[in-house]
Every structure is written in C-alpha cells, then in structure tokens.
A and B are shown apart, each in its own frame.
Chain A
Amino acid sequence: MSNDLGTLKKSDVAIVGVGITPFGEHWDKGLRELVIEAGFAAASEAGVRGRDIDLMLVGNMSGGMFAGQEHVAALVADFLGLNPTPAVRVEAACASGGVALRQGYLAIASGLNNLVLVGGVEKMTDVGGGWATSVLSGAMDFEWEAYFGATFPGIYSMIARRYMHEYGLTRDQLAKVAVKNHYHGSFNPFAHYRNRITVDDVINSSPVADPLRLLDCSPISDGAACVLLTSAENAKKYTDTPIIIKACEQASGTLTLFDRRDICTIDATIDAANKAYLNSHISPRDVDLLEVHDCFTIAEILALEDLGFCEKGQAGKMYDEGQTYVGATLPVNTDGGLKAAGHPVGATGVKQIVELVKQLRGEAEKGRQVSGAEIGLAQNVGGSGATAVVTILERGD
C-alpha cells in the first residue's frame, strides 16, 4: 500500500465553498432538487460560475432502490446546468460521500482538475420503513448476512453486546452518546431532530435490535451537501478563509462483521487514520473537534478508540465525564452527528466536511461553535466497517 501521493501530488487542496440542505423528510423535494439546493449554496458562497467547474462527483448509495433513479450524477449535473462537465457517481454505502470527497481531493491534488464540485445526496423517505431497512442491509454482505435475517441495526447491536461483554460499557454510557448528539443538534438549524433527550428517553425508547433502541439509531433522512474544491494556490480567488485538506485517506475491511479480526474494532478506521496522521504530520492531540460516523451510538464509541483519542475500552468513561460536548476537552459531532442531524446515507460524508468547514471558519451557530478551532477530523464509515475515510482539515489563512 503506498503511503501518499508522492511525486504525483501537484498541489494542496482547499475547500472554498460549502452548501447543505436541511436534513429531514422533504416531501416537496426529489433527489435532484436536494442537490441543486446544496450545489447552488456552495457555488454562490464561492462566487463560482458553473462553466468553471470541470468535474462533478456525487456520493449516493442507492438512488435506484430508494427513488427508482440510477444515473444520478448525469441527472444532477444536467439540472444544475453543468453540461457537458463530466459527472461521476461514487458508491460506498454510507461512506459514499466521504469516498466522493476523496476522489475530488485526488483530482485536484494530481493537477488534473481545477475546480471540482463534490456532492452527496440520499432521498430515502419515498419508500416505507421495511423497504428502507432492506435497502440499507445491502451495505452488508447480502448473501451471507442479510439473507439470514440480519439487519443493519442488528449488526451494530451484535457489536454493542460483545463490546459491553468485553469492556463493561454500560447501557447508560451508550445512551449518553445520543443525549449529547441531540443536545448539539438542538443548536443546528439544519438538523433532522432538534429536540433534547435524556438517558431515560433513550433506554425507554422502543427496542429495535436488542440492546439497541430507537434513540440509539440514526434516522432515515432526505438531504444533500456539497463542497467546492480547488488548489490551495487558487483558493484566495474564491474565499478569504480557505480550509485546507491536510489528509483524506481511505481503507477497506471485510464486508461481513463475522470475518473481522475483532468485531469491537473497525480496522479500516485505524488504517485510514494512521495514513492520515502520517501524511499530515498531525496527531490526535492536535485535533480540536471531530465529526464521526455515529450511525448507532456504539459506532461513536468505537470511532473515538479506533481514531486514537482514547485507549480501547475506555471511550464510555469520556461520556460519563462529558468530555465530548462543545466547550469540553474533545467536542464530537457538533452538528448533532448522524443521530440528531440525520443520516441521508450518501450525503453524510460530505455533510461532516461542511460542518468542519463552518467550525474552522468560526461560522457555526451559537451554542455549538468550538472557539478557536484550527484543526478538525472527520471519519465516515460504510456498512459495518468495510470502508472508512478519514479526513483532516485545517484553516488555511
């Protein structure tokens, strides 16, 4: 495995514009309207003309199964008025957005493209819950997990049960992940859920897949997010506060949970993070805030350990001590995370970047802005850990 772009890297990559739709149930908007809204927001922020964009990437898990629509990259490029700009859909289940970002990063870093629009979108609420559960189970091994009746929450529940067995994580500690994310989400006008909840609310919510309950699970949401990438040297043409992508690394693991070396660890996160730290010369202690993939509460626990922010088995204690709130030592998911902000799967990896950019610019809403934030890290996971993308951003001014 090569460690970096080496001599192929022509320039550093900057984010010069971001845009996002509110996440939630959008009965009045289809997939194309969602991307248009986020894409125009990103482009107008940067003062970019459509004809200057020379590549569009769209992270999308399953336009076909959720909305009956394949070929979504060409569709949204058309309706954004970008023809004949090449448009490519990127799919890696829930990591589709993060992998799309990485492809955009490579396109700019290599010098092949000058201005890339990276979008992520999912339109999930046009179908019923049973069907949505089935579609999401396609992020696992269909023939050897879903075929036997495993669901996506079921897979993460099996991780949670084993983790509790091995490390003594309590049901209350797990609930505190969701409580914190709802608290942060209450300050985010784009969040799917802005209500605050208590530990009792979580542990009394309806059981989905024991030991996980409804309020342990991220919701089914519609939404889109976009970011505009260009080279660091061109960035000042578009913005006074470019945000530099210091690293954007990706790794693969087994699709099935049962084939993992250790089901309480996502090795793909560890592998991607180690490469990102190595290439950026940034270590966990330099990071001011995190956006991690809390598709289920247990996933946030694993993320903090796998990314190197605490020892294995110790993350639960950070929640007893409130360390992951804005204003505390390590703010995590300042927008409410997947749990409260919502999880339109293809959009999530890009949404995490939008949030970090807002935070690093100092533009997040009152109540969730991390003061003086200079460096942020995002972790986006596909399936139960078969794909992981770790991105490190830093203020570039």
Chain B
Amino acid sequence: MTMYGVPSHWRRYKERYRLSGTRCETCGNIYFPPRKVCPHCRREGKPVSMNFSGKGKVYTFSVIRVPSEGFEAYAPYVIGLIQLEEGPKVTTQIVDCSPEEVYIDMPVEVCFRKLREQGKEGIICYGFKFKPTTDAILKK
C-alpha cells in the first residue's frame, strides 16, 4: 500500500480511534462512516456526529490468507462485517481468537489496536478492531 502522508491518516483519526459515525436529526438514520450529507434527506438532512457503543455481532467473515501489502505480518487474519447494535455495519478485523472460533452472530466488542506499520520509518496506523465478548466463544 502506498505510503500516503501524515494528513491522510490524521484527518480520519477520531473516526478510526473512537468508532464514530453520523446520525441524521431529520430522519433518525445512523451512518458509518461519517457522512456530511444524509443520502435519505440530502439538503433537508441534519447530520450530527455520534459515537457507537462498540457492541455488535458478526454478520459475516473471512480469513485473509493472501493479504495486501503492509498486512503480511498479520496473515492469516480474520476480517468481518460487524453489525453494530445501533444498526450500521463496519468492516474490521476480528482478533483475540483463532479463525476457527469465529461464527456468524458471535457477540463482539470494539478494541483499539495497531492496524499496520508502513516500514521501519513510516507511520504506524491505529484504529478499531473487534474481539469476542467474554462469553462469546463459550456460547458457540
């Protein structure tokens, strides 16, 4: 992955560190990632920033064995869509468990992790990942 400069990471850090999105005060729709325009209401929309609870469940997942550049050290790793309890879904890594332990509808919660390093002198990217809740693997 190309080494894009500091501003490209910096301008998104709040959203990636805190898992925040947008709620439209006009229609009540909730969006992830944050949007400046509510696609439902467009100019009548009133999008305001909101933080998600960080709780959700696995909607679907895959085990990445052939990663993109920059993620080699993590492979194989689990990537999933998490359905947040507020409604929207997010793409994220599912960590703190083995790929064999992950299942659809597994309850998960957000955690804050290193996403990747861009070489020895490059930026270290951080952001959210998800992990099973304490009783999630037992439930299986």
Contacts and interface: CB of A to CB of B under 8 A. Distances in A.
Given A133-B69, A158-B81, A210 B60 contact: no
Contacts of A130: 67-69, 72
B81 A263 contact: yes
A148 B63 contact: no
A148 B127 contact: yes
A105 B2 CA distance: 36
A148 B79 contact: yes
Interface in B35-67: 59-67
B12 interface: yes
Given A137-B68, A148-B92, A151-B67, A165 B79 contact: no
B65 A207 contact: yes
A134 B72 CA distance: 12
28 contacts: A130-B69, A133-B68, A134-B1, A134-B69, A144-B90, A144-B91, A149-B64, A149-B115, A149-B116, A150-B79, A151-B79, A153-B62, A153-B66, A154-B64, A157-B62, A158-B60, A158-B61, A161-B62, A165-B104, A206-B65, A209-B64, A209-B79, A210-B63, A210-B99, A212-B62, A258-B91, A259-B88, A263-B59
B27 interface: no
B68 A149 contact: yes
Interface residues of B, number: 38
Contact of A161 (B60, B65, B68, B91): B60
A203 B1 CA distance: 30
A79 interface: no
A114 interface: no
B104 A161 contact: yes
Interface string A180-211: 00000000000000000000000000111111
B47 to A, nearest CB: 15
Q: Which of B16, B33, B69, B80 has the most CB of A within 10 A?
A: B69
Interface string B67-103: 1111110100101110000001111110000010000
Contacts of B99: 210
B125 interface: yes
A144 B15 CA distance: 10
Given A133-B67, A133-B69, A263-B81, A162 B60 contact: yes
Contacts of B77: 149
B40 to A, nearest CB: 13
A331 to B, nearest CB: 31
Indicate the size class of the contact surface on chain A.
35 or more
A131 to B, nearest CB: 6
Interface in A338-372: none
- Chain B CB count within 10 A is highest, among A131, A134, A151, A154, for A154
Contacts of B64: 149-151, 154, 209
Interface of A: 129-131, 133-134, 137, 143-151, 153-154, 157-159, 161-162, 165, 206-212, 256-259, 263
A149 B71 contact: yes
Contact of B62 (A131, A158, A256): A158
A82 to B, nearest CB: 33
Given A130-B68, A158-B80, 17 more contacts: A143-B12, A146-B68, A147-B16, A148-B92, A149-B115, A150-B64, A151-B66, A151-B79, A154-B64, A157-B62, A158-B62, A159-B60, A212-B62, A258-B91, A259-B89, A263-B60, A263-B81
B63 A257 contact: no
Contacts of A129: 66
Nearest to B89: A258
A145 B91 CA distance: 6
A149 B61 contact: no
B23 to A, nearest CB: 15
A165 B104 CA distance: 8
Contacts of A146: 1, 68
A256 to B, nearest CB: 7
Contacts of A153: 62, 66
